[in-house]
Amino acid sequence: MIAIGNDHTALEMKQAVIEVLDELGLSYEDCGPNTDESFDYPASGEKAARAVAEGRCDLGIVICGTGIGIGLTANKVRGIRCAMVSEPYSALMARRHNDANMIAIGARVIGTEVAKLIVRTFLTEKFEGGRHARRVGMIMDVEKQETEQ
């Protein structure tokens, strides 16, 4: 199950992402919105991130104009590692090395076909573990220390 969240800038791109999920046979939880009325991205970013953090979804994809606001929001939820990506190489490495469980995309930054390639890459790559697991563990230790203060 894949969580998807967006804002009003990203309806068309969300449809393109859903096409990729359908191609890959993956179901999704749509955290909205589904109208082009102005929408505050933190609401859907948080919803999608919580769906991943709580284990209802394995991975998440969030989209706003730049991918920045919604990605920053997702990263505020404990357990989330959301990579803001604009090209497939970063999407690949976000999975292989960073074990990112979400990506954020900018609907006003990249085209639909690049977004589809990013999403396909992110959803089909695997975490390599090994030394990268140690580093991801160190990232999560920082989060742990923050929440313990």
The catalytic site residues sit at 64, 97
Phi and psi at residue 30, to the nearest 5°? -90, 110
- 7 contacts ligand RB5 (rule: CB under 6 A): yes
3-state secondary structure (DSSP) of residue 58: coil
Phi and psi at residue 63, to the nearest 5°? -140, 125
To ligand RB5, the closest distance from the beta carbon of 41 in angstroms equals: 5
- 69 contacts ligand RB5 (rule: CB under 6 A): yes
The Cα–Cα gap between 62 and 135 comes to: 24
Question: Residues touching ligand RB5: how many (CB under 6 A)?
Answer: 8
Judged by CB under 6 A, the residue of 66, 75, 101, 121 near ligand RB5 is 66
Q: Which is nearer to ligand RB5, 42 or 125 (CB)?
A: 42
The Cα–Cα gap between 125 and 103 comes to: 13
- x/- binding map, residues 8-47, to ligand RB5, per CB under 6 A? -x-------------------------------x------
- Walk across the sheet containing 82-84 and list its strands: 28-30, 2-6, 59-64, 102-106, 82-84
- 68 contacts ligand RB5 (rule: CB under 6 A): yes
For binding to ligand RB5 (CB under 6 A), which residues are involved? 7, 9, 41, 64-66, 68-69
